[in-house]
Amino acid sequence: MKRFSSLYKFLSIATLVFAFSSCDDDFTNRPPEDGVSLDAYYSTNAQVESATNGMYSRTWFQFGNKFFWAVSEVGSGNMYTGSSDVSAMRNFSLNGSDNELINGWSSLWANVAQANAIINFLEQRVGPSVDPAVLNNVIGEAYFMRATAYFYLVRLWGPVPIIENNLDHVGKPAINTNNIEDIYTFIEMDYKAAMERLNAKTRTANYMLNGRVSKGSATAMLAKVYLYKKDYVNARLMAEEVINSGEFKLLGGAELPSKSFGDLFTYANNNNEESIFAIQWKGDGNYGSANNSNTQFGISTADVSTSNVTYGGVFAPAQEIKTLYGTGDVRRKETIMLPGDEYPNVKIKSGATLVVPSEDQIGGQGAGAAIKKYCIGVVNGSTTGPVDEWGMMDNNTYIMRYAELLLIHAEAVLAGGSSTSDAAALTSINAVRNRAGLANLTSITFDDIFLERRKELCFEGDFWFELGRMPRAQAIAIMAAQNRGNKDFAEFYTPEEKDFFLPYPDIDVARNPLLLQPPVPYTFD
């Protein structure tokens, strides 16, 4: 298989490819960014388990490095940036030649390609001594990853091609996109296939064993899919299945009072009891193996720098995030850094602990504030874990955690109604609020849940998708009212209907002009 040099030239590693694949340079011919050679013969359980290792990190890198934040957080108005490579969504000027757009698109299709290879071919390449349960679980992981990649694809681009086996399209780069409702059906089927195959487990204090997804992870993600489909009955059923399983717990909640919300974003708490699915970064000396957020989110000035390299602070909080959190909300200080804040566990380059400087000296793109989530500071032994030569570190990136599942449950119980005082909904949302130091609510509306989600998940790549599932006029009104400038210059932009789905990359439209044609129904077997 040839690699698309225009799409993958940023990779400095040699990508292993599937020898059984075509050599035609077409739309489907996308090598996984960290593929395993499935021409190999898998004779042991450990070898089979390793087949999905890359799908917990490397296949997500170009999605999660800059693109994820540039769209989901800058685009939604949670973050501000003036950096030209990631700022197009600030004023809704993103186009099909944008390099980060190409990176994000390519990364998601790499996940699909890797998952397809495992789903379709791994079983044929295992030896008789491999435990069928091990094989089944690995295939379940592949279904989970494919579903998750498609969940992002459909919410970002809308109609995209459903590809179950890349070999079905060898030499046929022209592939129709499929209807959005069919893509959601496909995602639902994949998560159900994952639920059938993945191991059930309980997250424990032995975090080394918590990294891989489980049946509960797939069930939780399916609950979110149902919520997006407004299928509140099934969203509630899935959410309650996860809640009743006891697999996950809130750090700092009633069951884990010795931990806190802030502990979620430390290296030492990778794969904690709250983590449903997180990208498992692990620096190995190659570019693209670790997490760049500490560098991109923190403070990088001459006097105060949380970066391990000579640059940083590409993303900063939007102005309205400075006042998002009310008095007593412990999430504020663990989400956004304001002048005068002290962080005894975060080291800066001088060797001192972090005291946030004045808003004119804080850096962060002139925003007068900086992002705390995922900023763990200058490398400091076991507190931060290691750092590579690019300043990237090994702290996980959350895709979903239990607090979100509880908020999904509350909304599913509300079920589109104007308000609810249902005890089950209140128990879920109040667990999240209590952990944040806030009092119980006795009745909730959609707006209450929407605000709670924004505060809880701010800077975790969720808010763009929240806006996208709202009525368009309402979302446009919210975004048009946002100050999308820095602390010195207010800027306001109003999105149009077309801005809620991203443009397809020009390079792929040239290869597959059917991307621009109306989507067609998908024929399910």
List Cβ neighbours of 173 (8 Å cut-off, separation of 6 or more): 24, 25, 26, 27, 28, 511, 512
pLDDT at residue 37, rounded to an integer: 54
List Cβ neighbours of 182 (8 Å cut-off, separation of 6 or more): 162, 521, 522, 524
pLDDT at residue 33, rounded to an integer: 52
The CA-atom distances, in angstroms, between 491 and each of 71, 77, 83, 477, 487 are 18, 11, 15, 15, 10
pLDDT at residue 349, rounded to an integer: 94
Number of Cβ within a 10 Å radius of residue 323: 8
CATH number of 18-198+501-516: 1.25.40.390
Domain boundaries, the chain: 18-198+501-516, 293-395, 403-499
Residue 318 in contact with residue 79, Cβ under 8 Å? yes
List Cβ neighbours of 117 (8 Å cut-off, separation of 6 or more): 18, 32, 35, 38, 166
DSSP 327: T
Tell the residue number behind the tokens 């990208």, with chain if given. Answer: 279
Task: With CA atoms as reference, report the closest residue to 150 among 112, 105, 117.
Answer: 112
Q: State how far the Cα of 383 lies from the Cα of 210, in Å rounded to an integer.
A: 19
Q: How many CA atoms lie less than 13 Å away from 112 in the CB half-sphere?
A: 27
Q: State how far the Cα of 69 lies from the Cα of 86, in Å rounded to an integer.
A: 8
Residue 367 in contact with residue 74, Cβ under 8 Å? no
Angle at 146 between CA 145 and CA 147, to 5 degrees: 90
pLDDT at residue 364, rounded to an integer: 73
pLDDT at residue 7, rounded to an integer: 26
Residue 242 in contact with residue 220, Cβ under 8 Å? yes
List Cβ neighbours of 373 (8 Å cut-off, separation of 6 or more): 265, 293, 297, 334, 335, 458, 459, 460
Residue 424's Cβ-count burial label (10 Å; 0-12, 13-18, 19+) is: middle
Sign, CA dihedral 158-116-163-236, equals: negative
Name residues of the chain where pLDDT drops below 50: 1-28, 30-31, 36
